[in-house]
């Protein structure tokens, strides 16, 4: 199988590092900081949309560009200051080593790679695609791109999209993949249960059991 993982809220709990980077950006454009809990509600649709929501302006506003550079610079300098693994994530990756592993995230690719490098797991993934490489999830383009990059020729259902949000499920459905939603990230289990998902898990610790099915 080709297992495509989302990053934030699926493999890692990055709420505080995202909030810290966002608040650095807000400060750079003269705005006061926001609580981590509020910023967490802005996550999932790429950094421009995060800043748009935090600043209360359209995503094409020039103010976004002014804030974007300090946010990215801060995140690259501090990729995992407070970031931890989501429950069961490290173990699931180890137990999935017989499969081809990839990451599809709406986070900027260079930041995602910096995080995976800092965690010491970049080599586990055959390919990584992120925001800026193409359309954001829920568009299935990221999954199609990963399939092409690793040369996967199996049935689309042999590709599994694993994530914590409707963006991940939507991308998986659009690609014809098997979809796995994992609670505990940026969206509630109740929200995930409203989606047309193949499997709904409480944590990634339940993922290896699905392989045996």
Residue range 12-55, pLDDT digits in tens: 999 999 999 999 999 999 999 999 999 999 999 999 999 999 99
Residues 46, 92 within the same domain:
no
Same domain, yes or no, for 99 and 20? no
Q: Is the pTM of this model over 0.85?
A: yes
- Asked if residue 206 and residue 106 are part of one domain, the reply reads yes
28/6 same-domain check: no
Residue 73: give the domain boundaries. Answer: 15-77
Is residue 213 pLDDT above 80, yes or no? no
Mean model confidence pLDDT for the chain: 96
> How many structural domains does the chain have?
2
Q: Give the domain-ending residue among 25, 58, 77.
A: 77
53 phi and psi, to 5 degrees?
-70, -40
Q: Which of 6, 13, 45, 168 is catalytic?
A: 6
Q: Which residue has the tokens 């989302």?
A: 6
Look at residue 123 and tell me whether its pLDDT is greater than 90: yes
Question: Last residue of some domain: 77, 105, 128?
Answer: 77
Helices (H), 97-206: 109-119, 141-150, 166-174, 189-193
Say if CB 145 and CB 161 are below 8 A apart: no
DSSP E strand boundaries for the chain: 2-5, 12-13, 84-85, 100-108, 127-131, 159-163, 178-182, 199-201
Active-site residue flag, 6: yes
The whole-angstrom separation of Cα 161 and Cα 175 is: 9
What's residue 136's pLDDT?
A: 97
92 plus 73 within the same structural domain = no
> Is the CB of residue 175 less than 8 Å from the CB of residue 58?
no
pLDDT of residue 132: 87
For residues 145 and 67, membership in a common domain is answered with: no
pLDDT given at position 211: 82
């Amino acid at each position: 199988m080709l297992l495509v993982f989302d990053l934030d809220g699926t493999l890692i709990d990055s709420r505080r590092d995202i909030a810290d980077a966002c608040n650095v950006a807000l400060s750079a454009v003269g705005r006061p900081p926001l609580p981590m809990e509020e910023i967490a509600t802005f996550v999932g649709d790429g950094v421009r949309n995060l800043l748009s929501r935090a600043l209360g302006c359209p995503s094409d506003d020039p103010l976004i560009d002014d804030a974007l550079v300090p946010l990215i610079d801060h995140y690259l300098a501090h990729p995992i200051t407070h970031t931890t693994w989501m429950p069961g994530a490290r173990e699931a990756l180890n137990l999935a080593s017989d499969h081809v592993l990839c990451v599809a995230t709406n986070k900027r690719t260079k930041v995602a790679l910096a995080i995976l490098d800092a965690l010491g797991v970049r080599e586990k993934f055959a390919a990584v695609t992120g925001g800026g490489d193409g359309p954001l999830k829920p568009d299935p383009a990221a999954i199609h791109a990963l399939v092409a990059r690793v040369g996967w020729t199996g049935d689309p259902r042999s590709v599994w999209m694993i994530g914590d949000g409707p963006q991940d499920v939507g991308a998986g459905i659009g690609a014809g993949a098997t979809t796995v939603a994992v609670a505990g990230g940026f969206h509630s289990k109740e929200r995930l249960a409203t989606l047309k998902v193949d499997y709904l898990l409480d944590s990634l610790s339940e993922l290896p059991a699905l392989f045996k099915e």
